[in-house]
Structure formats: structure tokens, C-alpha cells
Amino acid sequence: MTTLIKTALLASGAWAAATFCVAAQSDIYKDKTVRMVIAGGAGGGYDLYARLLSQHMAKHIPGAPTIINQNMPGAAGITATNWAEKIAPKDGSVIVATYHVLLLEPLFGNAAANYDPTQFEWLGSVGKQQNICVTWHTSPVKTIEDARQREVTVSSTGASGHTTLIPRMLNTVLGTKFKVIGGYQTAESRLAVERGEVDGICGLSWTTLKTASPDWLKGNRMNLLVQTGAQPMRDLPNVPLLIDYVKNPEDRQVLNLIAAPDDMGRPFLMPPGTPKSMVSVLRKAFDETMQDAAFLADADKRQMEIDPLSGAELERLIKAAYATPKPLVQRAVSLMRGEEQPRSAPK
């Protein structure tokens, strides 16, 4: 056999293998059903984002499978996230929409969090979940500097929630004088501000506020004191970042770790052990959906913030967080539990 013929046969074989691979991939989800398992109840923010994604993502998956939505609330999202690792089918038929605040719970020692986020197959996140501290427009407290000089009452929805943890951390690290008033439900915590029962809220999701209380924005009815996260949100380019007030390098590392889930936003995962071929197909479909004009128009109509992370970017953030030295992790836990004594205001 001549060299020319051998080369032609090899090239033909390679082309045939590549064609078979593409064809197999395009059929991988044909006539299949994919379950979108949502870690919260129907009607919540995560539920709405997951259902919007389901509606538009199916057409970007080769084979056009049917995507059905299934709510699995319980233990503030831990039930569904544990299920994703321990019980969920690993055949590519399951996507789980989990809460960003759960991604570091195993790192922080939560015994109920029986999952390893570094082992999940991450599809991506549809948007960030950075938090803000606000006071009502009539309050004399309009900046973080003001909050260092006088007591600021803020409503809270629970001892372990952001509306308690973030003002507590600000008091410790920045010397602010937030006083947390607990016992409110989510909607009531905002009404308490409007009624003048408290001065504001510290630790409120910006995307939640935009959707739930748009009149606060349109009417300029609040003072924006600070925002969490590594970069300013697109809507808030001039609102100071919490991290910019912190000069001590160790404090900055600890606060970056605590705030890392905010940048992870509204994440979607597949169970560990899912075939890489299927993960690759759904990652591509997810990325395409994030650029889909119809998807973006629907999100805009519903005032839903879209600021995506790819699966690879999300995976990198999670692995970086879990590589944090143990002493810094322990300090982060102490800070969140309020075990550190508040400091005086920085000079």
C-alpha cells in the first residue's frame, strides 16, 4: 500500500470518527427528559430564575429534550443539594438549581451539608447575588461614615441570614453601629423600613430588591451605603465596595472568602459522576442561553438581573475558596458567628 493511499485512508478514518462523534453528541439528548430540580419552593427568586432558564435552554440542547421543573424545598436548600450528591441519577438527566449561600457551608463546618461542592459538575450561574446596605431616604445615616458615628437599626429575617451576619461583620471590621432588630419575614423586613420601625436593611440582595420593591429605586427612596462582592455591580458603579474600606490584608482575605458566594450568584449544577460528554453539551447550551435574545428579553421584562458565570468560572471560584488556609476559614466562621469583639472605627 502506497504512502499516499495510507494517508488518505487515515484521513478518511479520522473524518468518519469525528462525524460519528458529532452525530452521537447531537443525539445524546434526543427523546430524553431532563429534570430541573429547584432547591426552594415555588414562587421564590431561585424558582423563577430556574424556570426561566428551563423555558429557553431546551432549544439549545442537541436533541431538544423536554425540561420539567421539580421543586425540592427543605432545610433552606440543603435537602436538594445533599440529594444531588448522594441520590440523584448520574445519567445526565438532572440539573439542580441550588442556593449560592450553601456553596461554602461544608467548608464552614455545617454538619448538615453532606456534599462536596468541588465534586459537582457546574453548568454556570445566571447572575450575581451581591448584597447592599441601605437606609430609608429620610434617615440621617447616608454613608458608612455616618453609620460609624451613630446607631443604625436594621431589620433582620433570622440569626443565620445575611441581614444579621453582614451588619454584625461591619460592626466588627469597620466599627459601625448597626443594631439588628430580628423577627421579620422577608417582605415585612422591607415594610419595617417604609413604616419607620427601623432605619434600614443591611445584607439585602440587590436583585431581590429590584424585583420586589422597584418603587424604592424609581422614587429614590433609599440611601445606598455599601455593596458586597469583588467588583461593583453594573447598576451600582458609584456605590462603595465593602472590601475597599478594609485595609488589613488578613481582614480582606477573610471578607473575600465570606463574600465569595455573592459572586457565585444563582448557580446550576449536575451530580458528581455525570458523564463528561453530557456535562459538555449542557455547559454549551447554558452559555448559549445566556446570549439568547429571547431569554434576555424575558428576563428584562421581569426585571431579572442576568450577569452570568460559565461553568468553568464557577468551578474556579469554588476551588479557590476551598483552598483557603484553615486559620482564615476559622476566622471567617468566628466573624460570622459574632465571636470577635467589635473594633473601634478605623482612623
- The stretch 315-330 carries a mean pLDDT of 95
- The stretch 38-44 carries a mean pLDDT of 87
Report residue 305 as a C-alpha cell. 438581573
Report residue 255 as a C-alpha cell. 471578607
With a cut of 90, say whether residue 4 has pLDDT above it: no
Mean pLDDT across the chain: 88
Closest CA to 318 of 102, 41, 45, 36: 102
Query: pLDDT value at position 16?
Result: 39
Rounded Cα gap, residues 341 and 324, in angstroms? 23
* Distances, alpha carbon 144 to alpha carbons 32, 255, 260, in Å: 53, 17, 22
Query: pLDDT value at position 25?
Result: 55
Banded pLDDT at 213 (limits 50, 70, 90): confident
> Mean pLDDT lowest for which of 80-84, 313-317, 338-342?
338-342
Q: pLDDT by residue (tens digit) across 170-184?
A: 998 899 999 999 888
15-128+265-307 shares its CATH topology with 131-261+328-336: yes
Beta-carbon-side half-sphere exposure of residue 294 (alpha carbons within 13 Å): 11
Q: Where are the domains of the chain?
A: 15-128+265-307, 131-261+328-336
With a cut of 70, say whether residue 75 has pLDDT above it: yes
Rounded Cα gap, residues 255 and 152, in angstroms? 22
CATH fold group of domain 131-261+328-336: D-Maltodextrin-Binding Protein; domain 2 (3.40.190)
First to last CA, the chain: 84
Q: pLDDT by residue (tens digit) across 192-208?
A: 999 999 999 999 888 87
With a cut of 80, say whether residue 27 has pLDDT above it: no
Q: pLDDT by residue (tens digit) across 241-290?
A: 998 998 888 888 998 898 889 889 899 999 999 999 999 999 999 999 99
Query: pLDDT value at position 44?
Result: 78
Task: Mention every residue, 6+ apart, whose C-beta is less than 8 A from residue 167.
Answer: 133, 154, 156, 176, 178, 180, 202, 203
Give me the residues paired with residue 227 across strands.
Answer: 132, 241
98, 84 contact by CB (below 8 A): yes
With a cut of 80, say whether residue 11 has pLDDT above it: no
Q: What angle do CA 162, 316, 84 make, to 5 degrees?
A: 70
Q: pLDDT by residue (tens digit) across 91-138?
A: 999 999 999 989 999 999 999 999 999 999 999 999 988 899 999 999
Task: Select from 3.40.190.150, 2.40.400.10, 2.60.40.1840, 3.40.50.720 the CATH code of 15-128+265-307.
Answer: 3.40.190.150
* Distances, alpha carbon 183 to alpha carbons 157, 169, 233, in Å: 6, 19, 29
Rounded Cα gap, residues 117 and 107, in angstroms? 9
